[in-house]
Amino acid sequence: MEWSINKGSHACFLCEKIFPEEEVYLSALYDENNEFLRKDFCVECWDKKDNENSFSYWKTKISKKPEKVEKYAKIDVFYDLFNKLENEKDLSRVNFRYVLSLYLMRKKVLKLISTHKSNENEYLVLHIVKEDRDTEVLKPQLNKEEVLAVTDEIGKLVNCTPQISPDNAS
């Protein structure tokens, strides 16, 4: 299966309303003490609150069956995160960005151009197809289990786990 939607509380963070199936709600990532925290909001609460300090946000719809259109929406969420993490130096964020790059390469959003080493670090040079520009990704020293653990962590935040192939992560 391409997507594993994680079970979450699916309730509004502010008014605690439970989202029914087919309802559109908003999820936002907040950077709190250097850790990402996801909060879900109903549309009414989202419109009323100040959204300036969210790191990234996206719309979600609880559907009975996974729909194609939702898959593309998730690619955009992962791509947005990948971009926003570009200049982050914190190790867990470097790990996030690397794992997101594996997923986005698989989805052909990114193309691997080359790799190079500098100061003992290995970098991937990637072409962002839709923006027609290149970016670099620091490749952390992660084994297969660690890559899967990071993937799991991203999945819990976004409520949808990116499917990657850690065996091809070279």
Summarize as ranges the residues that interact with Zn ion (CB under 5 A). Answer: 12, 14-15, 42, 45
Backbone torsions φ then ψ of 51, nearest 5 degrees: -105, 15
Q: Is the Cβ of residue 14 or residue 125 nearer to Zn ion in the bound state?
A: 14
In angstroms, give the least distance from the CB of 45 to Zn ion: 3
Rg of the chain (C-alpha set): 17
CB of 8 vs Zn ion, minimal distance in Å = 15
Backbone torsions φ then ψ of 162, nearest 5 degrees? -70, 135
Distance CA 127, CA 88 (A): 19
Minimum gap (Å) between residue 81 Cβ and Zn ion: 24
Nearer to Zn ion, 17 or 127 (CB): 17
Collect all residues with Cβ–Cβ distance below 8 Å to 74 and sequence separation of at least 6: 3, 158, 160
Least Cβ distance, residue 26 to Zn ion (angstroms) = 10
CA dihedral (165, 167, 169, 170) positive or negative: negative
Name the residue nearer to Zn ion (CB basis): 18 or 37.
Answer: 18
Closer residue to Zn ion (CB): 46 or 82: 46
Please state the closest distance from residue 43 (CB atom) to Zn ion, in A: 8
Q: Which tokens go with 96? A: 């996030």
Which residue lies nearer to Zn ion by CB, 17 or 156? 17
- Residue 14 corresponds to which amino acid? L
CA pair distance 75, 117, nearest whole angstrom: 29
